[in-house]
Amino acid sequence: NAGVMQNPRHLVRRRGQEARLRCSPMKGHSHVYWYRQLPEEGLKFMVYLQKENIIDESGMPKERFSAEFPKEGPSILRIQQVVRGDSAAYFCASSPRQGATSGANVLTFGAGSRLTVL
């Protein structure tokens, strides 16, 4: 049972290009969360999605960032016209139900995607 799969692990983009980060949740998990970790800072919530629905995007920058979790396929975090300040590690986590309050350690993180903007 594979864990949360994120790809690419490392992505280099030039300013103005687009970055697409993918996250496949654990089997049986229907809730996906994206977090950003800027250099020397802690994790920050970006967006919470269920299949075909954005539940909470209060942590997403208003421009250039978007996320989706289609019926089929992975969740995608898309950053258009990247700038140097977008350089960060982007983590995806999944859980089988909202709130991750049931069971033990139901929130599972991916290994992260490290975006470098030149």
Partner 1 sequence: KNEVEQSPQNLTAQEGEFITINCSYSVGISALHWLQQHPGGGIVSLFMLSSGKKKHGRLIATINIQEKHSSLHITASHPRDSAVYICAVWGSGNQFYFGTGTSLTVIP
For partner 1, the closer CB: 57 or 66: 57
Q: Which of residues 10-69 bind partner 1 (CB under 8 A)?
A: 33, 35, 41-45, 48, 55-56, 58-59
Burial of residue 107, with CB atoms counted within 10 A of its CB: 0-12 exposed, 13-18 middle, 19 or more buried: middle
At closest approach, how far in Å is the CB of 43 from partner 1? 4
In contact, 96 and 31? CB cutoff 8 Å: yes
Per CB under 8 A, 83 contacts partner 1: no
Task: For 18, list phi and psi in degrees, rounded to 5.
Answer: -105, 145
- Which residues in this chain contact partner 1 in the complex, by CB under 8 A? 33, 35, 41-45, 48, 55-56, 58-59, 89, 91, 93, 98-101, 103-109, 111-112, 114
